[in-house]
Amino acid sequence: GTGKGAEMGTLFRQGTALVVMARVDTVVLDKTGTLTKGQPELTDLRVPEGNEDRVLELIAAAEDASEHPVARAIVDAARTRGLEIRAATAFNAIPGYGVEATVQGHKVEIGADRFMRQLDYDYEALTEAAGHMADEGKTPMYAAIDGQVVAALAVADPLKEGSHQAIDALHDLGLRVALVTGDNARTARAIAQAVGIDTVLAEVLPEQKADEVKRLQSDGRRVAFVGDGINDAPALAQADVGVAIGTGTDIAIEAGDVILMSGDLRGIVNAIALSRRTLRTIRNNFIWAYAYNVALIPVAAGILFPLFKVLLSPMLAAAAMSVSSVFVVSNSLRLRRFEPSIQTAAE
């Protein structure tokens, strides 16, 4: 089973993962880089007052020190407009909230609505615009300069090819699919509806992902968590089976029990189908081996001699034992003919 998985681009790091994968009933997907490409683009910038280019210039300068994909999207948009990105000082990233920095003497803060609430800033004038962005499946944010919220902006991260197909196939396997994301609830629901996801876990901070997995497990769920980022590592370790995207970070790959080498989400469908087939083969082998031995060991011990004067010679007993082994091996080799139920990009 593990060998066939490797041929399909799915690495089972240990046999236990193959068995547990067959028994999962819930698949939890991280959003960025797992369900989506992890290559967001700035799609909206709403600046009610002031110069839009000047605001974007300050925002991009603050974000330039960040390695987050959203930050790169903002910086790339500013460069596309030909804006000058100056060096920022006192940069600070607050995971799950946003960033702050000083640019040309201005205090610049960019982040989610919860970041603005934490700072106790008034952003009500822009909530309607941000809400429309969220309803379109975009990730809305706010920007404040010198303590005043001056802009609402949004980035959109396109879905990976095959994401919708993968979720439909998971449903066909009888699995429940959940989405976990730091995005606000409106954005998360819009994305979930677009691809048919059952459960939405929104506004989850990076350090809370493992807690959400634990909560599902406490409800009796067997959970497979799929993620690719550094902050997914605790959730990958907490899940019954951690599935890491092979194109993600080294830390996530190290924490995963199963690695999807191509990064195609459809690979998890094939991994679950293969694990179920393998477990079924193991059960068949056990049933055959136990039934065969229960039937023939008494014969070899002479149970038929008192009635029929029949004894099984040691040579025939050894041959009969070999038949059992040949059957088990041959039945297992049938897994070589396993065909993926869904084609991935790597195939």
Give the Cα separation of 235 and 281 in Å (integer): 30
Do the beta carbons of residue 82 and residue 108 sit within 8 Å? Answer: no
Q: Where are the beta strands (DSSP E) in the chain?
A: 10-12, 26-30, 41-46, 89-94, 98-103, 106-111, 139-145, 148-156, 176-180, 199-201, 223-227, 241-245, 258-260
Relative orientation angle of helices 163-172 and 185-195, to the nearest 10 degrees: 70
Identify the active-site residue in 30, 157, 183, 232.
Answer: 30
| Rounded CA separation 78/128 (Å) | 24
Would you call 135 a catalytic residue per the annotation?
no
Nearby residues of 278 by Cβ (< 8 Å), 6 or more positions away: 1, 18, 19, 22, 335
Counting Cα atoms < 13 Å in the Cβ hemisphere of 121 gives 24
Q: What are phi and psi of 252, to 5 degrees?
A: -65, -45
Nearest to residue 137, comparing CAs of 178, 186, 83? 186
Residues with a known catalytic role: 30
